[in-house]
Amino acid sequence: MNIVERLRCNEDLTDTELAELLQTDKYDEQLRIAADAVRREHYGTDVYIRGLIEFTNYCKNDCLYCGIRRSNRCAQRYRLTKEEILECCQEGYALGFRTFVLQGGEDAYYTDARICDIVSAIRRNYPDCAITLSVGEKSHESYQAYFDAGANRYLLRHETATPEHYSQLHPAELTFPKRRECLFDLKAIGYQVGAGFMVGSPFQTMEHIIADLRFLQELKPDMIGIGPFLSHKDTPFCDYPDGELALVLRLLGILRLMHPRVLLPATTALGTMHPQGRELGLQTGANVVMPNLSPQSVREKYMLYDNKISTDEESAQSVQRLAQAVERAGYCVVTARGDAKTKN
Ligand code: 5AD
The residue whose CA is least distant from atom 14 of ligand 1 is: 157
Percent of the chain with pLDDT over 90: 92
CB neighbour class for 128 (10 Å; exposed up to 12, middle 13-18, buried from 19): exposed
The residue whose CA is least distant from atom 16 of ligand 1 is: 304
CA 126 from chain centre, in angstroms, equals: 23
- What pLDDT is attached to residue 246? 98
**What number is the average pLDDT over the span 177-200?**
98
Percent of residues in the chain assigned helix, strand, coil, to nearest 5: 45, 15, 40
- What distance in angstroms lies between residue 231's CA and the mean position of ligand 1's atoms? 9
- Residue 318 reports pLDDT greater than 90: no
User: Would the pTM count as exceeding 0.95?
Assistant: yes
Supply the mean pLDDT for the chain. 95
Q: How far apart are CA 94 and CA 110, in angstroms?
A: 27
Residues with CB under 6 A from ligand 1: 65-66, 157, 159, 198, 227, 229-230, 232, 269, 304-305
> For a substitution probing ligand 1, which of 71, 176, 198, 232 has the most ligand atoms within 8 Å of its CB?
198
Confidence of residue 91 (pLDDT cuts 50, 70, 90): very high
Select from 205, 160, 141, 146 the least CA-distant residue to 63.
160
- Residue 342 reports pLDDT greater than 80: no
- What pLDDT is attached to residue 314? 53
- Residue 196 reports pLDDT greater than 90: yes
Confidence of residue 316 (pLDDT cuts 50, 70, 90): low
Instruction: Specify the higher pLDDT residue, 316 or 326.
Output: 326
Confidence of residue 340 (pLDDT cuts 50, 70, 90): confident
- What pLDDT is attached to residue 319? 87
Q: How far apart are CA 125 and CA 97, in angstroms?
A: 14
Residues 120-160: tens digit of each pLDDT = 999 999 999 999 999 999 999 999 999 999 999 999 999 99
- What pLDDT is attached to residue 343? 59
Select from 285, 336, 289 the least CA-distant residue to 39.
285
- What pLDDT is attached to residue 295? 87
- Residue 311 reports pLDDT greater than 60: no
**What number is the average pLDDT over the span 232-259?**
98
- Residue 25 reports pLDDT greater than 60: yes
Closest atom of ligand 1 to 197 CA is 17
Pairing of strands 46-49, 332-334: parallel
Torsion of CA 30, 32, 35, 40, to 10 degrees: -110
CB neighbour class for 288 (10 Å; exposed up to 12, middle 13-18, buried from 19): buried
CB contact set of 189 (below 8 Å; sequence gap of 6+): 140, 143, 144, 147
- What distance in angstroms lies between residue 134's CA and the mean position of ligand 1's atoms? 12
Confidence of residue 315 (pLDDT cuts 50, 70, 90): low
**What number is the average pLDDT over the span 234-245?**
98
- What pLDDT is attached to residue 44? 98
> For a substitution probing ligand 1, which of 52, 63, 66 has the most ligand atoms within 8 Å of its CB?
66
Percent of the chain with pLDDT over 70: 97
Residues 260-303: tens digit of each pLDDT = 999 999 999 999 999 999 999 999 999 999 999 998 889 889 99
- What distance in angstroms lies between residue 304's CA and the mean position of ligand 1's atoms? 6
Inter-residue contact 114 to 144 (CB < 8 Å): no
Residues 93-118: tens digit of each pLDDT = 999 999 999 999 999 999 999 999 99
- What distance in angstroms lies between residue 73's CA and the mean position of ligand 1's atoms? 18
- Residue 313 reports pLDDT greater than 60: no
Find the helix packing angle between 28-43 and 245-258, rounded to 10°.
50
- What distance in angstroms lies between residue 181's CA and the mean position of ligand 1's atoms? 20
Inter-residue contact 304 to 67 (CB < 8 Å): yes
Inter-residue contact 272 to 229 (CB < 8 Å): no
Whole-Å CA distances, 7 to 29, 101, 253? 15, 32, 10
3-state secondary structure of 235: coil
